[in-house]
Chain A
């Protein structure tokens, strides 16, 4: 069963997690252990419950059954340790506010009630914008950003949270090549800094290149582990139910480049 609080507790532990929207199970009896310091992709077909899984870990959706532990504790006790990058389409980018303002929102949790962001928060936000290559956009109105820039602003907002665990929902969705490179670099920096990063990911082809850990999900957890062990044709076929084409032969370490059918 669940390990009680120890120094070795996994960053994320999920047990028997079931989530349903109106009678329909979106996640069914999911068990998951995410080890410290991994760069993990969650992949699976549309409607597999990828987004729901990270939202359930963050306590954003009601769960029917099951338990989530962050570093062995309930989320409410360790909130500061977790940062979230939502899908960029989840907010109204015509909201009247600036890039700097959005990034500073990442400090709101540490600030607590009523206290306003000041010089220190401003500096942290500017540093984070520097990291994502958006320093010059600090004063820009957010409606003037491209999709890739919006994504980088959201990443910067998570960076200023200075968390230990990062949960990201489709950060590569519809971004330009520059942004994709920036994000990949950023993910690696986070891993080198000992952070644990979980990314909902759509593009199977880039999984072996970008990530070292992967969870295959289709309502149930199909498999979870190191990419070389889990990202195999057999397990992928089971995840995608046969709607999948493989490009070329599996390479030496057994991983494959694959394209899922029916994806956008």
Chain B
């Protein structure tokens, strides 16, 4: 254990990976809270899957594998995919979940086709794009972490700036609209922030598992508090905790994948929260029920 802690601060690779995982956990946990509260948990899944063809196209168009270029491609594609979902829901009778399913698989399918095409090309310098499928934390560099921090920081700043407007959008959008706030524009703003949160994590966790980091920290945090600010802060904290724990655990043995371990850590936090959180937790519920039953039982004996 002391060795692990020592490595966390002094081993370059582990330190970089842990820092990146922490940033990704904070950003996705924080912004994922809105998706969970708005019952759009699966939006993250659509965004991350829709990002894949963007990564491939960005590489095909520029020939560059610079993270910033690929992340930009991912962001544009993820954003377009989400706008398409919103557009389909608004202009047809197709429901949100169906629209999500369609767009997600179409974009992901195109992404896989493009990836295969890139891999079969003569110039075999391409290898490595498939790391975006399941993530490859070990390849992350200090400059990637700086990129992640900058993007995530901007997203979090915007969220804090528009705190009141986003709360209104999440709780009662129609009422917000009667107050004169452009609800559709706010919806697009929030979705854009979520897109940023997701592309920040793609390189580490991959498109397939990324949505878990959007949903899990927020669901865990919701169990512990009834205040929006606290919930969002907690979700960020849980995300960071899951990120760092996943990175550290994966460093303890060879060939343990970081991304999936981060997701498992986040899931463990959900499980713990669902069981032990006061008020909402299962254990707490059971204890209260037993206490009530015993009290009723006693009173029942006193009153014949």
Interface residues of A (CB under 8 A from B): 22, 55, 58-60, 76, 79, 82-84, 86, 90-92, 95-98, 101-102, 105, 108-109, 111, 113-117, 141, 143, 157
Contact = CB atoms under 8 A, between A and B. Distances in A.
Interface string B150-181: 00000000000111110110111011111111
Contacts of A91: 171-172
Nearest to A91: B172
A60 B226 CA distance: 30
A96 B179 contact: no
A41 B246 CA distance: 60
Interface string B90-131: 000100000000000000000000000000000000000000
Given A96-B226, A96-B227, A111-B164, A105 B180 contact: no
Contact of B174 (A22, A79, A83, A86): A86
A105 B175 contact: yes
A187 B228 CA distance: 32
Q: Which of B161, B177, B222, B231 has the most CB of A within 10 A?
A: B177
B302 to A, nearest CB: 30
Contacts of A60: 174, 177-178
Contact of B162 (A92, A101, A109, A114): A114
B175 A86 contact: yes
Given A98-B226, A117-B164, 14 more contacts: A22-B93, A58-B177, A59-B178, A60-B177, A76-B180, A79-B178, A84-B178, A86-B174, A95-B171, A96-B231, A97-B171, A108-B168, A108-B181, A115-B164
A97 B228 contact: yes
Interface in B33-50: 37, 39
A154 B171 CA distance: 12
Contacts of B147: none
B13 interface: no
